[in-house]
């Protein structure tokens, strides 16, 4: 007997994806929390807010971005623009260098996610509770 899947729209898939991820990453005790805001250009209705207990590892961040934009995790990259330089982050090592040299707790930091055919902003904001 074959089972048919319900007719899911793009919005249903996006909501299901984030509901699963945020449940897995929800902290039991919060010391520092990192929020990641995803905005989709050209469609203000598509928006996601992710929470991490600490600064996310590249594998977790890439998985979130890949799920959000429906792109393979292995091609995910973000760009960080400093006042005079542009840095591409696509590995754990590069993300750790970013945290060490540019991340300031409590200050928002903007990343750009490039997806074939579109560009989107990724905003990090952190706070202590």
Question: Where does the chain show beta strands of DSSP type E?
Answer: 32-39, 47-52, 78-81, 86-89, 109-115, 118-128
Residue 57 located in a structural domain: yes
Looking at residue 109, its pLDDT comes to 63
Looking at residue 54, its pLDDT comes to 78
Residue 21 located in a structural domain: yes
Residue 95 · residue 78 · CB < 8 Å: no
d(CA 28, CA 18): 18
In order along its 129 residues, the chain shows pLDDT tens digits of 444 444 444 443 444 444 444 334 444 444 456 666 665 555 556 556 666 777 889 999 889 888 877 778 888 888 777 777 888 888 999 999 988 988 888 766 667 776 555 555 555 555 443
Q: Is the pTM of this model over 0.75?
A: no
Residue 99 · residue 108 · CB < 8 Å: no
Residue 1 located in a structural domain: no
Looking at residue 31, its pLDDT comes to 46
Give the tokens for residue 88. Answer: 């591409």
Looking at residue 80, its pLDDT comes to 78
Residue tagged 């995803």 (tokens): 38
Residue 5 located in a structural domain: no
Residue 40 located in a structural domain: yes
What's the domain count of the chain?
1
Residue 91 located in a structural domain: yes
Residue 120 · residue 86 · CB < 8 Å: no
Looking at residue 59, its pLDDT comes to 93
- Give the range of the structural domain holding residue 57, as residue numbers without chain letter: 10-128
């Amino acid at each position: 007997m074959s089972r048919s899947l319900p007719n899911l729209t793009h919005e249903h898939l996006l909501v299901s994806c984030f509901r699963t991820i945020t449940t897995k990453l929800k902290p039991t005790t919060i010391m520092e929390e990192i929020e990641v805001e995803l905005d989709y250009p050209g469609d203000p209705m598509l928006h996601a807010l992710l929470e991490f207990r600490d600064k996310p590892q590249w594998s977790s961040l890439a998985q979130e971005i890949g799920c959000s934009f429906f792109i393979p995790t292995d091609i995910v990259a973000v760009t960080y623009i400093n006042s005079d330089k542009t840095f591409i982050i696509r590995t754990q090592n590069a993300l750790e260098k970013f945290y060490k040299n540019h991340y300031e707790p409590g200050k928002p930091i903007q990343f750009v996610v490039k997806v074939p055919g579109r560009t989107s902003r990724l905003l990090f904001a952190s706070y202590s509770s």
